[in-house]
Homo-oligomer: A and B are copies of this chain.
């Protein structure tokens, strides 16, 4: 109720995550140190270690704290339009500042920190995949998607090319790129 002289648990947790994002944006997430976050947040290092087991875990929570709502799908009845809209949103979120660099850093961490990889999947990738699958299922029932399309692969096929652009070629993720990918995926490689 009051602006207590000492912030308690949750408030402190939030303050640390905000400082992480702020400092990360300033000096880059690679150069980020728990030491520096603690100093900037006016917090003992142990207070951070008590909450997160590694820099990756802290980064991950800081990322998720910014996106608690998730990326929800519209359902206008037109699957192509809905997918495009949702992917536009995802790309706008993850393709540029402030999220892009943070997300890149996180996936980097995930390559050498199993725990980060697991948590990233559980809390970010899987929920998004579930939504995608649900929306595609509805579309398939309406005859807008090939009836034999392998829904389990949906997330990999739809977002794989985008992750490739983000992580490997590291070129900008534009709406135009999304359009081209979607067009190609809908059409398929096989000549009609």
Contacts and interface: CB of A to CB of B under 8 A. Distances in A.
Contacts of A125: 168-169
A188 B189 contact: yes
Interface string A169-190: 1100000000011011111111
Interface of A: 28-31, 104-105, 107-113, 117, 120-121, 125, 143-150, 153, 155-157, 159-165, 167-170, 180-181, 183-192
26 contacts: A30-B111, A105-B111, A108-B108, A108-B111, A110-B167, A111-B111, A121-B168, A121-B170, A125-B169, A144-B191, A146-B189, A146-B191, A146-B192, A147-B191, A149-B187, A153-B180, A155-B164, A157-B160, A157-B184, A159-B164, A160-B162, A160-B163, A161-B161, A187-B188, A188-B189, A192-B192
A125 B180 CA distance: 20
A31 B156 CA distance: 29
Number of copies: 4
Contacts of A117: 170
The 3 closest A-B pairs by CB, nearest first: A188-B188, A108-B111, A30-B112
A66 to B, nearest CB: 18
A190 B187 contact: yes
Contacts of A159: 160, 164
B185 A188 contact: yes
A188 B191 contact: no
B190 A186 contact: yes
A62 to B, nearest CB: 16
